[in-house]
Amino acid sequence: MSNYRVRAAYSDPLASNVYFILNCIFYILLRLSLTKTTKEGIYLLIMGIFVSLVIYNEGQWRLNHLSPLHNLQYSLVKLKQYASKIRQVLVSSVTAKCLKYSVLFEEQPYLKYCEDDSNGLLLTVSSSQEQSNNTKVVYSAVFLSWGVSSKLKNAIHLPYMLEKGDQKVGGAVKTILQNIFDCIIEQFCFTQHQLLQFGFSFVENDTSRSSDCFTLTYKTPQVKHKDKLNLSFDLGDLHIIWNGLKEEDTKKSEVINLAYQILQNQIFYMIRLDITVFDLYKVTLPKAEVKSSGIVKMKTPEVVNCVFTVLNEITSIPDNSDIESC
């Protein structure tokens, strides 16, 4: 793997280090400041804390696009029935000696962006040895909307599924969910422009030091070896580039293209490398990471909001007479 630190011809003063807990408080207070009533404010406070606790962490999530879940019911009895069907499939399809599975499928009323969104769902699969009471979580999945929920007849609209854990278990879970709810689950694959869309959205909302790195990771196209090329920039330089271009009042897609062109020129000037012959694979910041394969890391509430805001922008919502946007 090759690593390069690319520095621009100018520098930005170091920003103060903002601690993790202050990020959480700031995000929640920001949401509260946008509300019209005390009731809405209290709701958003609870929702902000809940989403933060459930979603952001140090691990990786695989992002999936989810079509409407037909005939999904939130009642406790129905959720237990769904969990039982999933457990039966796991027992028969995931072969592991002396292994027992337990499945919990729960409604999460506060796992959503706004009150008009459908309630989120949390699916947890745990396993234990037959002669042991020690259980461990082997797979988790979160189903939610982020301000784009739609009203459908006999279906629930939760367009995003985040998952982490054992991929064999995940494959079996997704198969049975598609059968139960007559839905389609597809893992996201991001284009170069979409990766940059995530990356500059992270930059715009990042609270790291200006000396911290914004790293672009590239692969050589159509080559099987795993060597990668990392090119890093100071976040302070990225802020100057991005904020300067935004002032020109151009379309966001054009701003992204212009900002990336500046980075390409800087790379060529510093190390004489034409980066256009490589495939952009990953964008990394101190508190966020996104890969072309649809895998993300989200370490703060702001990053969670950035990820889903960009997903809303790049995901087309079905145009159907039975759908009414919330």
Beta bridge partners of 103: 125
* Neighbour tally for 248: CB within 10 Å: 9
pLDDT beyond 90 at 37: no
CA dihedral sign of residues 46, 50, 56, 60? negative
Q: In terms of Cα–Cα distance, which of 126, 106, 131, 122 is closest to 162? A: 122
* 15 DSSP 8-state letter: P
Write out pLDDT tens, residues 246-263: 887 678 889 999 999 999
Residue 98, sorted as left (phi over 0), alpha (psi -120 to 50) or beta, turns out to be left
Write out pLDDT tens, residues 162-196: 999 999 999 999 999 999 999 999 999 999 999 99
pLDDT beyond 90 at 33: no
DSSP output for 177-220: HHHHHT--EEE----HHHHHHHHHHHHHH--S-TTSEEEEEEE-
CB 80 within 8 A of CB 105: yes
Stronger pLDDT, 44 or 325, i.e. the higher one: 44
Residue 299 has a pLDDT of: 86
d(CA 212, CA 291): 19
